[in-house]
Amino acid sequence: MTKDVIVLTEQMPDNWTLLAGLLAGGPDVELRTAGDGAVIQLCDGGGRPLVSVEAPLLVRVPGEAARLLGEEAPEQRGPVWWLEARASTAVPEAEQVAGVFAGRLAHRLRGRIWPPDAVPAAGIEDPVALEGVTPAPVPAAAQPAVDVLTDQVAVVLQDRPVVAMTAWLSDALAAALASGRGLQIVTGAGCRLSLPTSSLLIGPGTRWVVRDGHGGYYDGRSGAVLHWHGGAFTTVGDRTAEVPVHQGYQHLATTGERQLTLTVHTRHPADDRLLLGGALEDVCRALTGSPPSGWGTAEPVPHPWSRRRLTEFARERSPAPTWFVAVGDPGARPAIATLTVSRTTGGVEEQLTFTAGYGPDDPPALDALPGLVGRLVREHRLVSTVAQVRAGRRDLTVPARLQAPPVPVAFVLGSEEVRDVGAEHAARPPIAAEPLRLGPATAPALYYPLGDGTSGAAWAAYEKLIRHLRPDMP
């Protein structure tokens, strides 16, 4: 049985319904709050958490359950309240408590449960017997999502089809980094990461750790064989030896599916009338035919797309940077984006990474890029753009398998940056293709074609181009 249980319901879970569910551990359990009241925890008599329940989240973006929970996802009929319960992995009975809690909520609110077999066979009428149970130590449960805490790392065990950057996981990552620790997510070999999760799992000691099913472990993004040593998962062997690659990682899947990724940097003057998200919206329309479906600061993405609401949220957080995730229309081409908004001395900057998925007989529309970039130059004060193509799943998840690296297909330098480099110098790059002039004739941006994404030689051309434009780089 999974350690996480999710309930989807059209009715908002009220306090009495939550309380009825929380009595799944019997009358001797205690309740307390964590995360500034956003998490309710069922604890034993010593105050040690058994089950942590996150505050219900209203998800008004269609398709999120299917995107994150896979084939067994409950049907999402319009807006749903999404409620997650996470059981302590050190206590087998805690999983049953979480299952009974979810079953009681679903029964009272006519909700649906993931996974379908989460409710214990004994049913939901009687509380789970907890006599003789030894819960997880308090330090390991300091963050609701953390299963093991050492001086080096925080370890999170996940048994879900897709590990998304949930609010729990985001909080665990932030807490780990703030304490000088890495975050290590441990999954089975069939699990995949969402692109937002994959993009944020960086830093010393931070890893995706995959169980091979035979008592071994490997890194889900490099294939390096791992073992538990010194309070963290580390590579096998010393630093002078070549790290072995696990055989379960080495198979290169060749399905013909591809992904097109645009990394877009824009900079705007600080102005009370500024609306953020314009570049994201235009990129999404150009590559999928529809605007984004929703946005949020974690997954699942809860809010319908609104540039105004996104801007208001970022303004409330300023001058601190704000990280967003946005998803495309589930009825259109798969698309997902992350957006970081920062206040700098140059104004308000948006760092966008947008990825669209393509099937084997559906090549990326590279011919549309110059027109799209021209719009970004004219309307969104483009600083730079890099476009890349890679072999990857159309559903935009990351498997624990060897994947070919991305290949650059274009680089764009914005009008002000062309001026700073020198227009004549920027217009004479040491690559085969001539740059395209986009935007105002008096202050054009330059679009440098690098290929069609099928040859790794494009990386050599890209490196030459960047060294030509930025000769001061080391």
Rounded to an integer, the average pLDDT of 158-166 is: 93
* pLDDT tens track for 173-192: 998 999 999 999 999 999 99
> In this predicted structure, which of 25-39, 300-314, 403-417 has the lowest mean pLDDT?
25-39
What pLDDT, on a 0 to 100 scale, did the predictor assign at position 36? 59
Max CA pair span of the chain: 79
| In the chain, % of residues over pLDDT 90 | 63
> In this predicted structure, which of 25-39, 191-205, 393-407, 456-470 has the lowest mean pLDDT?
25-39
* pLDDT tens track for 223-257: 999 999 999 999 987 665 678 889 888 877 678 99
* Predicted confidence (pLDDT) at residue 141 exceeds the cutoff of 50: no
* Predicted confidence (pLDDT) at residue 425 exceeds the cutoff of 50: yes
What pLDDT, on a 0 to 100 scale, did the predictor assign at position 239? 64
Beta carbons within 8 Å of 332's beta carbon, 6+ residues apart:
288, 289, 290
The pTM score is 0.92
* pLDDT tens track for 265-314: 999 999 889 999 999 999 999 999 999 999 999 999 999 999 999 999 99
What pLDDT, on a 0 to 100 scale, did the predictor assign at position 467? 94
